[in-house]
Amino acid sequence: MRAILSFVAATLWPTFALGDVLTLSSLQWTLKNANGSIVVPAKVPSQAHLDLLEAGIITEPLLGINDFTQRWIVNDNWTYTADLTPLTEDLSADARALLVFYGIDTLANITVSGHPVAWVSNQFQQYVYDVTDFIVAPVHNDTNITVALESAYLYGLNVTSRPDAEISPTGDFEYAGIRQYIRKTQSDFGWDWGPAFVPSGIFKPAYLVTLSPNGNPNNTTSKCDPESASHPLLASGGSVFIEESSLEISKVGETPIAAPNQTADWLVNVTLGVRSVVGADFPTLTISIPELNLSSGPLTVGTIPVATNVTAFLSANFTIPDGVPERWWPHNLGTPKLYNFTITLALSNASSNGAVSFTTRSGFRTVQLVQTPYPTDELAARGIIPGDQWHFEVNGKPFYTMGTNIIPFDPFYARMTSAQVRWVLESAVKSGQNMLRVWGGGIYQPSDELTGGYDFYSACDELGIFAWSELIFSDALYPINDWLLASVDPEVRQNVRRINRHPSNAQWAGGNEIEGIVISVNQTLANGTHYLDEVAYTDCSTTRGVLSLDPYEIRYNNKTPGFIYGNGGEPVVVFTIQMLSKPAACPLERYNYDASQAFNYSTYPLSSFHSLPSFYSWEEVLTSPEDFSFNSTVVASRDHHPPAGNLSWPNPNAPQGQGQMTMAVELWLPTPNTTDANQTFAQWCWSTQIFQSLNMVSEIAFYRRGAGRGENNLGALVWQLNDIWQGASWSAIEYSGRWKALQYGMANIYSPVVIYPFWTPENQTLEVTVTSDRWDIVNGTAQLTWYDWIGNELNSSATAFSVPSLNNSVILHTQGLDNILPEGKASEDVWMLLNLTAEIDNRTVTHEQFFTPVSLATANLVDPAIDLATGPNLTFTLSARGGVAPFTWLDHPAGTVGFFADNTTGLPLNGFFLVPGIDRTVQFVPNSLLSKVAEPDPADFITLATYGTSYGGLHEVR
């Protein structure tokens, strides 16, 4: 039987062979609702919606209006049951059986063999229980494991009715007023970019780990490598279970509030949480790095008791000279070097039980969030506005943080795969991003498939992209009832320990958009100081920083007029995190959805605009021909900006968000208008994306320019990178993995050296600036060329530039249209192409942008008559046979995932200006793992471009 189970496990995880670590996925599970009217086969890991879908009880939850019609699932209780016998029938008399859950969503009673084991209430915790005594003495011959899940919604209604429940005076999204009391993904209850499915289930892998005093800790009969397992879980079995493991690398003497000494030795700290059936009075830990031929030798740690119901924590340190290991760097500043660390735990009676050993990967780097006041001499020398610093330093060097925000990848965590997540991460890297913020209203992202279902942090390590991690608290004041705090404590400890080993983890922040709410409540409620005192989150994702680091004291409203503090505020920001939510909830951030001000730098900083996904994404979910319209009920129902604030459906506030997108397109682009309804809808979708990209690129350029100005801006994290479904949102990548226009726009503006025209209409001032994120001086040449819309070159000028470290250089500053436009030309008839060539890191880089003195809605555009020629390996050459084609766009067919790259540089390229006589050749680079169409037909690729009041080259819309 064991051999059969090992085979089953091997089919689930092809690279692992499990022995004494037995997966619960191999059991035959059933799912039933509260009254037993629904009983279907189920899986682990899974969630109720997914099992009901598999059984044919429901259709795909993301289809049509299922987010509304499937609310009945939220209101029911669901129970998972399986017979444990296949995993326990060979249990030896001296063995102990540990039930291990890496994630239960969320409220559940766990029963084994008829015995109650535990009631759990936290989606973010892992749970371990010794169930041996229950297995050997079943009640009424019950051999089942049962996880009875309670409706999170109904639980929320009940818990908020408790007399001691501290009611939060803040607004909400759909399932209102309850999520603060439930340690569950907050956006499960609805958000302004996603649905409210409130899923439940055993959503992460689960195992039965058997231990025996006479067992072989390395389990050499089933492990591929008896010397060192590839994961702490796989090293378990025999007599020891490694419940938790932490590897943290820092500098000797480093503290959270002081800059690390870059020449100090490295300090490697390893902490293991273990349960054992064998006691050890003198256990040791050995830390080895084979690639460096380094070993700590046996390090003495605390004793290990004979205990399987409590966890013993063992910790050891190992120092390494500074110059020995290579450092880990984000990909745009160096190489993300990783090393294999072999951790070996030897017991005191090792002669009979050997040692437990596993290998994990990590890297050497320092990362610091600098929040101290600027030195007085630096303020004067660099013209910096007084206030506090707020930026990151890696390995002792300040750097410009460029990136986006990550939300949950799917409403149903259990169906996510590493391939899907890695594509999003790789897309971020391809667009020049070096940091992703793991948003505090979602979920703690996993480190590996074995315990988390998919990989996130390890991929970030390998790709060289920082992760700004947050505790899961968002847009609310959270109660401090003892019973809730008791649940949060292990949640935070477990996740921080788990993620410590990842060099990609840049920091831990306390939550999302809470500090502003605290300040507002403190000022408006009679007992507001109560909330001010109870919230002590550090580095909230908008914060005015600190008054003091030692002792730690948040600044809140203790400001000096004219000074800049934290990562947001007025007059400008020093580090922007563009978050989208209700303005009243976050006074630190400025929200302005007036599209007429989208490019007015005198009103900056602004928030970004949302957009619709492509026509291809709508094809995945719309079920009727009449749905394919910009303001159809189904399309509008998926615009949750602003949110309903309750369970009203369709969102009664959607017309506001739809109107904002409509106004933006009509003000700045030709209005879509064809005789084909599907084409018109497709063009509306595309146009909202083009405007979104224009707006965000403009804002990012504005912030990047701030690195050389008084605000000394050193970061921009855009809201948001990925989508959770097919609907209106601020994402740069659609749910399927398809890149929006914004993703290509970021690939352009996040280039190492960029040129950008800053146009202020009030005084008709044009400033052209070159900005660099390099540490060395960058020299190059900028070219400014004026064209008319027919494509005639009117004039051109070249300017040499030199940009200091993390700074900018103004290459043109002029005022008045008469001095800006080519002689004798009207603003509606001309545009400027800006490009540069520079030398960085021993290579030549280029960058281009454009300047239109008027909106394209009023420009005298000319039909570009685009010709699309196909070449080998999905290459496409585009030519304009008529006039200039602004934002020429290629779209790949349904069922394909990938991106378009410049055929010469290999860099992402789409949404460009196509000029007659200057052809463009791009190649579609597919993701073979995610594409459902292995060899797409070049004839299925389409082009779009803006001209007049219609769009050219939209060959086909299915």
Active centre residues (catalytic): 513
Q: Rounded distance, CA 295 to CA 605, Å?
A: 52
Instruction: Report the first-to-last Cα separation within the chain, whole angstroms.
Output: 52
Q: Rounded distance, CA 505 to CA 446, Å?
A: 12
Q: How far is CA 185 from CA 38, 196, 413, in A?
A: 26, 11, 10
Crossing angle (nearest 10°) for helices 654-668 and 677-705: 80
Decide: helix, strand or coil at residue 612. coil
Closest listed residue to residue 248, CA positions, set 388, 109, 363: 363
Residue 141 backbone zone (phi > 0: left; psi -120 to 50: alpha; other: beta):
left
How is residue 328 annotated by DSSP? Answer: B
Determine which helix (DSSP H) or strand (DSSP E) holds 819, and give its type and residue range: helix 817-820
User: What value does the CA radius of gyration of the chain take, rounded to a whole number of Å?
Assistant: 29
What lies within 8 Å, CB to CB, of 842 at 6+ separation is none
Is the distance from CB of 357 to CB of 235 less than 8 angstroms? yes
Sign of the four-CA dihedral 406, 410, 414, 419 = negative
Residue 36 backbone zone (phi > 0: left; psi -120 to 50: alpha; other: beta):
left
Whether residue 571 is preceded by a cis peptide bond, meaning omega within 30 degrees of 0, is yes
Closest listed residue to residue 670, CA positions, set 830, 852, 857: 857
Closest listed residue to residue 767, CA positions, set 802, 819, 715, 804: 819
Closest listed residue to residue 925, CA positions, set 873, 879, 871, 872: 873
- Cα 173 to its chain centre, rounded Å, is 21
- Number of helices followed by number of strands (H, E) in the chain: 22, 45
Closest listed residue to residue 104, CA positions, set 114, 86, 118, 116: 118
Closest listed residue to residue 208, CA positions, set 372, 82, 108: 82
Is the distance from CB of 91 to CB of 210 less than 8 angstroms? yes
Q: Rounded distance, CA 837 to CA 752, Å?
A: 12
